[in-house]
Amino acid sequence: MTGNAKFEHRDVALLAVTAVEAPVVMPSQRFDEQLAATLKRLRLPKGLLRRVAGVTERRWWDEGTTFDDAATQAAAKALAESGVDPGEVGLLVNTSVTRTHLEPSVASRIHDGLGLPSSALNFDITNACLGFVNGLTLAAQLIDAGQIRYAVIVAGEDPRPTQEATIRRLSLQDSSREDFLREFATLTLGAGAAAAVLGPASLHPGAHRVLGGVSRAATQHHALCVGGPDGMFTDPQGLLDGGLELVVDAWNEAEPRWNWNTADRFITHQVSTVHTTSIVDALGLDRRRVPATFPRWGNVGPASLPMTLAAEADSLSVGDRVVCMGVGSGLNTAMTEIVW
């Protein structure tokens, strides 16, 4: 069977979405300086991160902050803004790609940091850059089913160790142009954290309704982007082509039902200039309605979409239709509509 998975929510609202920006600015120029000898040896120009990816800078955490500390901070901020008491939370989903060990779950540490009740489910969902949208969908379904009342979805990312390892590897005398191109995407990553709180719309009439959306898989492309603690290795052109085809197929099937072409804002997963421009052109979107945060934050993995939504929140008006859409390694895509 080929087609979209479809989901609609009856009584779910987004009560808060927050972001925590990492404090250490790491300009792309700094990476150029660290890789100057390699770029010269491989006859590659400086400034590729800025000119090709559009990433001028990204953020790192300072030495005293971990990614799960930041995720906990973002979640606490979201709970405070939503007015939901931590004791009422029935679900915590961590969607971070970053992790320092295989077990226990990252969610367990965040659950403890927030002081959530023992009755609150807590676990990790890892689905590359799409994890946060998947977490929202799962939480919304549990709220609609009456299994929980409130849910917290979090993501925190820290690419610094991976980027430092990548720079060391690319600085070796035997590194090649092919190595550089395969690992180029690693250098676009950035640190950051985000959180959202969902609850019943009927109990929060002024909140932002989560209506539903679609998802679609193209897992024949699962080898195009493979990441681990030591680095992220991609087939850039294959990833762009496969991801774009997947998004267009999902969009075209969904459009008769959702009429997303008329939406007021499109909050996309933040990757690069090429990625964003390709999606805008392929779907015929109004570029002015597609905000870009990757120039200053880089690709913050699953946190990038909710961080961008949080940054746009003050500019949205009541009744605005917001489409959240992303692609994650695997490949998978998901699109969700929120009415502000």
Active site residues per annotation = 103, 129
pLDDT at 2 over 90: no
C-alpha distance across the termini of the chain, in Å: 34
pLDDT digits (tens, 9 = 90+) for 303-314: 999 999 999 999
Query: Rounded CA gap, 11 and 211, in Å?
Result: 8
* Tokens of residue 161, six digits: 């160790």
This prediction's pTM: 0.96
pLDDT digits (tens, 9 = 90+) for 169-195: 999 999 999 999 999 999 999 999 999
Three-class SS state of 246:
helix
pLDDT digits (tens, 9 = 90+) for 235-294: 989 999 999 999 999 999 999 999 999 999 999 999 999 999 999 999 999 999 999 999
- C-alpha neighbours within 13 Å on the C-beta side of residue 178: 1
Cα distances (Å, whole numbers) of residue 198 to 12, 24, 315, 331: 7, 30, 21, 26
pLDDT at 220 over 80: yes
Query: Rounded CA gap, 76 and 225, in Å?
Result: 33
